[in-house]
Amino acid sequence: MKSLLVAAALTAVALAPPPAAADTPEPALRRMAYIVGANDGGAERVTLRYASTDAVKLGRVIRELGGVAPRDLRVLQSSSLDELLAGFRQLRADVAAARQGGARVELLVYYSGHSDDQGLLLGDRRLSYEQLREEIRLIPADVHIAILDSCASGAFTRVKGGTRRAAFLADESTRVEGYAFIASSSADEVAQESDRIAASFFTHYLISGLRGAADVNRDGRVTLNEAYQFAFAETVSRTEATQGGVQHPAYNLHLAGTGDIVMTDLRATSATLLVAADVHGRLFIRDRDGYLVVELMKLGGRPIELGLGPDRYDVMLQRDDGRFHATVDLRQGMRTTLSLSAFAAASAEPTVARGAGPARGYLVPVAISFVPPIESHWWYPHPIKRVSINILAGASAGIEGLEVGGLANIVTGGVRGVQVAGIANVVSDDVRAVQIAGISNVVAGDASQVQVAGIANFVGGDARGVQVAGIFNGAASIDGLQIGVVNAARRVRGLQIGVVNLSEKSDTAIGLVNLARDGRQALEVWASDFASVNAGVKLGTRRTYSILTVALGQELAYVGAGLGIHTPRDGYYLDGDVISYDVFDHDLGEVDEALGQLRLAVGWNLGPRFALFAGGALSVAVAWGDRRLSTRSVLGGGRTIDRDEYTARLTPGLFAGVATF
C-alpha cells in the first residue's frame, strides 16, 4: 500500500491541577513534548513531502501556546528507527528526573510518517504498534496522549478498543491522569497530505484548531475535546473528494479525573487576531512567507479569536458570492480585529498559479495578440486583461471580462467573465465564467457557471454550474449538471446525463450505464406474467438506476433497457422503473413488435447482499401493420386497441424474484 500521507502523532498535554487545600502544596507542572517527522517509509513507498514540516509546525504551536518550555520540546526530523528509540530512552530519563524532583509531568509525543496496519514504517524498518505502546507505557508521566497521523493508524487505537467517533467526552476539570490515543485515519484507511495546504489534512486542521479555530465556547482555551472535534469534522469534509477517499480520525481514551485536557491557551500568545462576527465563509490565513497557517469555516454571528503571533498575514475569504482578500499586521502585545469591511474583492490581486500567493498584475483594458510574444502588451510581465482578442493564441495572468481566441486562450491566474476559443481554453487557477471551446476547456482549479466544449471539459477542482461536452466531462466534484457521452466526478451534487456516468458519491444520474461507488449495483432474476425467465442488471446511484434486461417466454425472447428510481427504507426498498423491450423469436430474428413496461416493486432485505422483491406492472405490447400480437400475459385480460397501422394491448401484470448486490 502506498500512503499519500502517514503521520503518527503521540501527544500528551494536560490541565492545570485542581485547587489544593491551603495546607497542601501543589506539585510543579512540567509539560514535555517529543515531536517526530519522517518522510521516508522505505523503497516501496512514496516519499512524503510534508511529514517533517508538519512536525515542525506542531512543535511551534505547542511551544507558543501549549505551555511546553524550549528545554522540554524535542523535535526529530529523521526516518531512523534507532534515533527514534534513542529519543524515547532519553525522554524516559527526563520524565523520571522531573518526577523525582516533585513535578507532575504531562507528556506530548507526536510522530508524522508512514505506517501500515502493523506499525510505523521508518526507512526500511518497522516499529510495531505493540512496541510503540510499550515505549509510551515505560515513560513515567502522569498523562500520556498519543496521536498517529498515518495510514491505517486506527489499528493502533483498535487494539485498545478505540473506535471512530465524532468527539471526546465533553467534561470540564483541572486535573486528569491516564492516556488518550488519537489516530488520523481508521484501521483500513490511508492518511493523506495535500500540496494545496502543504501539509497532511489531519495535522493541518489539528493545528488550525489549536490556534483557536476549535475554541467553540470562546473561553480562550482549546481542549482536547474541542481540538479533536474540529480536526475530525474538517478532515472528513475535506477528504470526501480526494483520490484516497474519505479519512476518519479515531481515538481511544482512558483518563481518570473529572474533565478534559487543555491543549493550548490562546491568552499565552503575544499577539492575537479577532475575526469579527460579521465575517463568514472559509478563511485561509497565510503568514509573510506564504505558508497556510490556519484554515477554518467561519460562521457568521460570533467572533473567533486566533493565537497567531506577531507577523503580517494575508487572509483569503471564500464565499459563494466570490473571493475576498485582506492583509492584517499583528503587533506584539496587541489584539487586532478583522472585520468584513477590511476585505476587498480578490480580483484586484489575481494569483499567478494555483496554490501560489497573491501577485499583483498589470491591468490591460484592451489587448490584441497574434501569438505570444507578438502582442500589443508584450512589455507587461503579468497582464490582467479586461478585453482580449487573440488572432491565434494569447497568454495572460488573468481575465476580468471577455477573451476571444482563434485557437487557444492560456491563463496562469483566474478568469471571470467569458472565454471563447476555437480549440481550447486552458486556465491554471479558478474560473467564474462562461467558457466555450471547439475542442476542450481545461481548468486546474475550481470552475463555476457554464462550460461548453466540442470534445471535453476537465476541472481539477470543484465544478459548480453546467458542463456540456460532445464526449467527456470530468471534475473532482460537480454541483450542478453534466451532459456528455461520458461524465465523471468523484462527488455529484446535482445531475449527470450521459451514456456512461461515473462517480464515487451521487444521488442522481440518467444514462445507459451509471456506476457510483456508494450507489446500487444489483443482479436480479425474476418471473413475470409475460416471460417465465427474466434476468437483469441494475447500475445506479443512491436514488436512480439504469436497468439492462433479457427475458425468455414460450414463443419470444426480449432484450430491454430502462431507467428507474430507487427509494431505500429501513429493511426494505421501493423501486419504480420504465423499460422498453425489443422482441425476437427464438431464432433471434427480430419481429415487428415491441413491449413497454411501467413497474413498481417492493424489496425486502434478507441480508447485506440479498433481497426478495415483488411488484406489479402495466405492460403495453404493440405490433405494426397486420401482424398479430404474440406478446401476451399468462394472466389474460387487458384492453386491445386495433388500428390500421398497429395493434396495441394494455395489460396489468405481476412479477417476483431475487436480487443480489
Distance, CA of 461 to CA of 414 (rounded, Å): 13
Q: Which residue has the higher pLDDT, 195 or 96?
A: 96
Predicted local distance difference test score (pLDDT) of residue 194: 61
Q: Is residue 39 part of a domain?
A: yes
Is there a contact between 206 and 231 (Cβ–Cβ < 8 Å)?
yes
> What single-letter amino acid sits at 450?
V
The answer to whether residue 350 scores a pLDDT higher than 50 is no
- Among the ranges given (26-30, 257-261, 522-526), the one the predictor scored with the smallest mean pLDDT: 257-261
Q: Which of the four pLDDT bands, split at 50, 70 and 90, describes residue 165?
A: very low
For residues 481 and 367, state if they share a domain.
yes
214-232: per-residue pLDDT in tens? 887 778 888 888 888 888 8
Closest-CA residue to 149 (of 179, 107, 194): 194
For residues 287 and 340, state if they share a domain.
yes
Q: Is residue 596 part of a domain?
A: yes
- Among the ranges given (37-46, 141-150, 188-197, 424-433), the one the predictor scored with the smallest mean pLDDT: 188-197
Q: Which of the four pLDDT bands, split at 50, 70 and 90, describes residue 23?
A: very low
| 201-208 helix and 224-238 helix, angle to the nearest 10 degrees | 140
Is there a contact between 583 and 589 (Cβ–Cβ < 8 Å)?
no
List of residues 6+ apart from 329 with CB closer than 8 A: 311, 312, 313, 336
Distance, CA of 504 to CA of 488 (rounded, Å): 9
Q: What is the CATH number of the domain that holds 261?
A: 3.40.50.1460
For residues 445 and 557, state if they share a domain.
no
The answer to whether residue 18 scores a pLDDT higher than 60 is no
486-492 and 500-506 strand pairing: parallel
Distance, CA of 114 to CA of 122 (rounded, Å): 7
Predicted local distance difference test score (pLDDT) of residue 185: 61
Is there a contact between 16 and 45 (Cβ–Cβ < 8 Å)?
no
The answer to whether residue 363 scores a pLDDT higher than 90 is no
Sign of CA dihedral 163, 165, 170, 175: positive
Distance, CA of 253 to CA of 396 (rounded, Å): 54
- Boundary of a domain, candidates 204, 235, 268: 268
The DSSP call for residue 70 is: G
For residues 530 and 387, state if they share a domain.
no
- Among the ranges given (32-41, 176-185, 212-221), the one the predictor scored with the smallest mean pLDDT: 176-185
462-481: per-residue pLDDT in tens? 888 999 999 999 998 898 99
- pTM across the whole model: 0.48
Q: Which of the four pLDDT bands, split at 50, 70 and 90, describes residue 507?
A: confident
Strand partners for 376: none
Distance, CA of 574 to CA of 584 (rounded, Å): 30
Is there a contact between 647 and 618 (Cβ–Cβ < 8 Å)?
no
Total domains, the chain? 4
3-state class of 42 per DSSP? coil
3-state class of 186 per DSSP? coil
Q: Which three cell numbers stand for residue 173?
A: 476539570
For residues 547 and 644, state if they share a domain.
yes
- Boundary of a domain, candidates 226, 247, 268: 268
Q: Is residue 14 part of a domain?
A: no
Q: Which residue has the higher pLDDT, 372 or 6?
A: 372
Q: Which three cell numbers stand for residue 553?
A: 417466454
- Among the ranges given (377-381, 422-426, 609-613), the one the predictor scored with the smallest mean pLDDT: 377-381
List of residues 6+ apart from 258 with CB closer than 8 A: 171, 172, 173, 175, 176
- Boundary of a domain, candidates 515, 538, 573: 515
Average pLDDT over residues 276-305: 85
For residues 113 and 262, state if they share a domain.
yes
Average pLDDT over residues 428-446: 92
Strands (E), 374-455: 374-375, 383-390, 393-396, 398-405, 408-411, 415-421, 424-427, 431-437, 440-443, 447-453
Q: Is residue 577 part of a domain?
A: yes
For residues 375 and 335, state if they share a domain.
no
Is there a contact between 571 and 604 (Cβ–Cβ < 8 Å)?
yes
> What single-letter amino acid sits at 246?
V
Q: Report CA-CA distances (Å) from 176 to 4, 15, 171, 221, 351.
A: 35, 7, 11, 16, 48
Q: Which of the four pLDDT bands, split at 50, 70 and 90, describes residue 628?
A: confident
Predicted local distance difference test score (pLDDT) of residue 602: 97
Q: What is the CATH number of the domain that holds 642?
A: 2.40.160
Cell 496562469 sits on residue: 412
The answer to whether residue 486 scores a pLDDT higher than 90 is yes
Strands of the 119-122 sheet, one edge to the other: 114-115, 119-122, 125-128
For residues 307 and 430, state if they share a domain.
no
The answer to whether residue 163 scores a pLDDT higher than 50 is no
- Among the ranges given (24-28, 142-146, 648-652), the one the predictor scored with the smallest mean pLDDT: 24-28
Q: Which of the four pLDDT bands, split at 50, 70 and 90, describes residue 66?
A: confident
Predicted local distance difference test score (pLDDT) of residue 133: 85
- How far is residue 155 CA from its own chain's centroid? 22
Q: Is residue 342 part of a domain?
A: yes
Is there a contact between 115 and 78 (Cβ–Cβ < 8 Å)?
no
Distance, CA of 642 to CA of 658 (rounded, Å): 37
Percent of the chain with pLDDT over 70: 82
Average pLDDT, the chain: 81
- Most distant CA atoms of the chain, gap in Å: 110
Predicted local distance difference test score (pLDDT) of residue 257: 52
For residues 649 and 613, state if they share a domain.
yes
The answer to whether residue 608 scores a pLDDT higher than 90 is no
Average pLDDT over residues 402-410: 95
How many CB atoms are closer than 10 A to CB 47?
Answer: 12
For residues 459 and 538, state if they share a domain.
no
Q: Which domain holds residue 48?
A: 29-268
The answer to whether residue 88 scores a pLDDT higher than 90 is yes
Sign of CA dihedral 142, 147, 152, 154: positive
The answer to whether residue 167 scores a pLDDT higher than 50 is no
Average pLDDT over residues 249-277: 73
Q: Is residue 21 part of a domain?
A: no
Phi first, then psi: what are they for 516, rounded to 5°? -130, 130
The answer to whether residue 243 scores a pLDDT higher than 80 is no
For residues 38 and 143, state if they share a domain.
yes
Average pLDDT over residues 433-440: 96
First to last CA, the chain: 27
Predicted local distance difference test score (pLDDT) of residue 151: 64
Is there a contact between 96 and 140 (Cβ–Cβ < 8 Å)?
yes
DSSP 210-238: IIIIT-TT-SSEEEHHHHHHHHHHHHHHH
List of residues 6+ apart from 381 with CB closer than 8 A: 362
The answer to whether residue 355 scores a pLDDT higher than 60 is no
For residues 341 and 461, state if they share a domain.
no
572-585 and 590-607 strand pairing: antiparallel
How many CB atoms are closer than 10 A to CB 144?
Answer: 26
Distance, CA of 235 to CA of 197 (rounded, Å): 12
Predicted local distance difference test score (pLDDT) of residue 102: 87
Q: Which of the four pLDDT bands, split at 50, 70 and 90, describes residue 196?
A: low
Q: Is residue 357 part of a domain?
A: no
Is there a contact between 377 and 393 (Cβ–Cβ < 8 Å)?
no
How many CB atoms are closer than 10 A to CB 648?
Answer: 18
Instruction: State yes or no: cis peptide before 373, omega within 30 of 0.
Output: yes
Is there a contact between 506 and 480 (Cβ–Cβ < 8 Å)?
no
Predicted local distance difference test score (pLDDT) of residue 170: 31
Q: What is the 3-state secondary structure (H, E, C) of 243-277?
A: CCCCCCCEEEEEEEECCCCEEEEHHHCCEEEEECC
Q: Is residue 152 part of a domain?
A: yes
Predicted local distance difference test score (pLDDT) of residue 201: 80
Distance, CA of 33 to CA of 529 (rounded, Å): 73
- Among the ranges given (201-215, 248-262, 398-412, 504-518), the one the predictor scored with the smallest mean pLDDT: 248-262
Predicted local distance difference test score (pLDDT) of residue 454: 96
Distance, CA of 357 to CA of 198 (rounded, Å): 13
Predicted local distance difference test score (pLDDT) of residue 357: 31
Average pLDDT over residues 276-298: 84
117-140: per-residue pLDDT in tens? 788 888 888 888 888 888 988 999
The answer to whether residue 659 scores a pLDDT higher than 60 is yes
92-120: per-residue pLDDT in tens? 999 999 989 888 888 888 888 888 778 88
Q: What is the CATH number of the domain that holds 278?
A: 2.60.40.1120
The answer to whether residue 436 scores a pLDDT higher than 90 is yes
Predicted local distance difference test score (pLDDT) of residue 300: 86
